[in-house]
Structure 1
């Protein structure tokens, strides 16, 4: 399954692309669109590092799946980089640019502008949620897998010993070389997606192990190990609550579903409980499923047909139910 790839934006010489997966059969009816945002702690990953079985499931529902790249921190902060890029991608869809591009294909598909959805994993979950506020037109519904939210929770400044134990000695000057990267990259060779944080990368996942001879890998895993991801990716005197979906959800926020692993050691499930609480307080249509025994980024390693697979599909069923309404 090879996607189409097109540039949707350029920023300070960073050419930012998105992959587009099309349902197998063009239809006379307009197709819903799912924006699928990769994870990677805002510092790692790229559009190829998403679950292909999940994409297949979405294509079987006759959805167009759009998987964007975005600029990676820390050369740009979360708000000015990843959030702005994903919001521009949403606008790119709504202003008709995706539809125009698709009409150049041999079997053209058309976009249903009233059924645009957003989905993301980990940091991508936060970016999907950020499309629900401070935008001219939010998505119809949002699906968040173990997203980075509730930034005042103590877990965001707590070191992670299971990551610290893997770090070799690293010279501070070496890891700071990441700030010299220009243009700001939109593609790292690795991701957190699919990696078993106990030992090696999960078998079969399309994610390589970190290479600590690369400044970006060394920098990112140092921040994760030390509990300094937010400090690195949203530095300065600005209040982190400015970019926290938990603080920004209000009346009119899109229907939202949450999926989180019960054994997540990277993003505490408590932050998703808080997100659910806030959604309910604001009378947002919402739901959540806790997947027993699953650690962070389980979506990349799960087996189709397994209990985990069936539980996480409830999120996509939620999206489908929402967009089925007139």
Structure 2
């Protein structure tokens, strides 16, 4: 049985209305830092829903792991909520606030500010990519696992019958719109990464709303109704100054088709950005939650970690 993980909680941001947004910090002995961001279509999930085996892999490489929560759409939009929160976390680390939090807790560690990396799965991959543009100091390198991008592609307005088939027939807009009631949450529902036991709970308006929007091809309407893609689409923001980036995507993905990541990869190469991509044939969306350590899929996705490690080096 794997050793239980015991993260250290930090608050990296307090909003104007007093909402504390936190992150889980996993500590090794050396200072390289990686931000790992959970998936959930920007509307679901939490920091505790990242893959624990991947965290252990990072810790074995002596990386500090920071797994943040962020505000969830649709009560805030993608740019002002999840994206801004993750950018504020990156700035918080660069400003030395993580070091200060560790020192106050007796877990003092001198972090290398030239080696702050970002990774994420699904919507978390998009948020990791957002740390490569429109920030004062980008992440040193980025690893996106089947992250969403290319938001003007027709796929994003295409209904998904295989998701619609799982929806109960009794959902109405009055019930679904209850998702807008109450304060903006930083955790919610289940993770779309598959860690939750059992099927989605359609008695929960947040889960029902998110999956209904996915089924109807309305996710982008829900998370960024202005549709000003220049502000949020990683594909449109790649330049020669974009951080080194690695992409892993399942070849059988029906939730975020692999061709979207292939377009992003082509753009990275076109701009001369150091990059790499692995297509894991036969894998669907969210395969990271279900892969077995030591399997072919496990070893292929680890190429992303090897890429991050090789960008700056271990500093030995």
Q: Shorter-chain TM-score: which interval? A: over 0.9
TM-score after normalising by structure 2? 0.95
2:256 — aligned with what? 267
Number of residue equivalences: 309
Matches within 5 A, 1:1-326: 1-11=5-15, 12-23=17-28, 26-27=29-30, 31-168=31-168, 169-182=170-183, 184-194=184-194, 205-206=195-196, 209-236=199-226, 238-324=227-313
The Cα shift of 1:171 comes to: 1.3
Query: Structure 2 CA distance, aligned partners of 1:175 and 1:108?
Result: 46
Contact 1:191–1:208 (Cα < 8 Å) also in 2: no
Aligned-pair distance for 1:109? 2.1
Partners in 2 of 1:223 and 1:241 — Cα distance? 22
| 1:63 CA drift (Å) | 0.1
Compute the displacement of 1:191 (Å): 1.1
Say which SS state the counterpart of residue 217 (structure 1) adopts. Answer: helix
Task: Please tell me the root mean square deviation across aligned C-alpha atoms, in Å.
Answer: 1.3
Structure 1 residue matching 2:150: 3-state secondary structure? coil
Is the CA contact (8 Å cut-off) linking 2:189 and 2:206 kept in structure 1?
A: no
Which runs of 5 or more structure 1 residues have no equivalent in the other structure?
Answer: 195-204
2:34 and 2:64 in contact (8 A); partners too: yes
Three-state SS of the structure 2 residue aligned to 1:74 is coil
The 2-side partners of 1:227 and 1:14 are apart by 31
CA distance in 2, matches of 1:60, 1:192: 26
The answer (yes or no) to whether the contact 1:191–1:207 under 8 Å persists in 2 is no
- 1:277-303 deviation per Cα after TM superposition (whole angstroms, max 9, x unaligned): 110111000000001111001001100
Q: How far apart are the structure 2 equivalents of 1:136 and 1:293?
A: 39
Structure 2 SS opposite 1:112: coil
Question: Which runs of structure 1 show a deviation greater than 6 angstroms over 4 or more consecutive aligned residues?
Answer: none
Long gaps (5+) in structure 2: none
Deviates more, 1:11-20 or 1:126-135: 11-20
Report the Cα distance in structure 2 between the residues aligned to 1:325 and 1:193, rounded to whole angstroms: 30
Q: Answer whether contact 1:3 1:20 (CA < 8 A) is retained.
A: yes
Normalization by structure 1: what TM-score? 0.92
Shift in CA distance, 151/67, structure 1 to aligned 2, threshold 3 Å: same
Q: How many angstroms apart in 2 are the aligned matches of 1:4 and 1:287?
A: 32
| CA deviation string 1:21-54 (max 9, x = no partner) | 011xx35xxx100000000000000000000000
Change (3 A) 1:64 1:231: same
Mean CA deviation greater in 315-324 or 208-217? 208-217
Tell whether the 8 Å contact from 2:190 to 2:196 is kept in structure 1 after alignment. no
